[in-house]
């Protein structure tokens, strides 16, 4: 009987140990379940991040293409503006040369007219002096 009692006690101890091990296993299982949920949530967050990155990449590609088009158009406008400015500069130089030539011709005309005016002024002076002399002679 003692032998049966010892076996029962041993069996009880084994059952208690198994219950404790089962409790530990249950705790580990719960922790694994929590970790699995967290991993699942992290996976979902990563998937959302990947999706957002893909959308951002598409937008960046579109923006890059639009920027390239805009830069190409701006370059064309810049070249056209530079050409227009160069044409304006050449025309301006030609106009300055033309105005300078006209100014020189005008100066020559003014110089000739001034010379003629000096001559006419001298002639008028001589004439006036001559008239005065004649009047004085007539009065004497």
- The token pair at 139 is 């009065």
Q: Give how far Cα 137 sits from Cα of 120, 123, 132, 134, Å.
A: 25, 21, 8, 5
- The token pair at 122 is 């001298």
Tell me the H-state helices in the chain. 2-139
pTM: 0.46
Q: State pLDDT tens for residues 51-91.
A: 999 999 999 999 989 999 999 999 999 999 999 999 999 99
Q: State pLDDT tens for residues 9-57.
A: 787 888 888 778 878 878 888 888 888 999 999 999 999 999 999 999 9
pLDDT for position 52 = 93
Cβ count within 10 A of residue 73: 10
């Amino acid at each position: 009987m003692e032998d049966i009692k010892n076996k029962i006690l041993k069996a009880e101890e084994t059952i208690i140990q198994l219950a404790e091990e089962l409790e530990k296993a249950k705790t580990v299982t719960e922790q694994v379940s929590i970790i699995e949920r967290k991993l699942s949530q992290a996976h979902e967050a990563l998937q959302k991040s990947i999706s957002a990155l893909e959308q951002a990449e598409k937008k960046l590609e579109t923006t890059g293409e639009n920027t390239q088009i805009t830069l190409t158009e701006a370059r064309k406008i810049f070249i056209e503006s530079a050409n227009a400015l160069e044409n304006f500069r050449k025309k301006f130089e030609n106009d300055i040369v033309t105005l300078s030539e006209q100014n020189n011709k005008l100066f020559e005309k003014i110089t000739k007219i001034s010379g003629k005016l000096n001559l006419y002024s001298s002639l008028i002076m001589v004439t006036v002096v001559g008239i005065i002399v004649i009047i004085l002679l007539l009065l004497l």
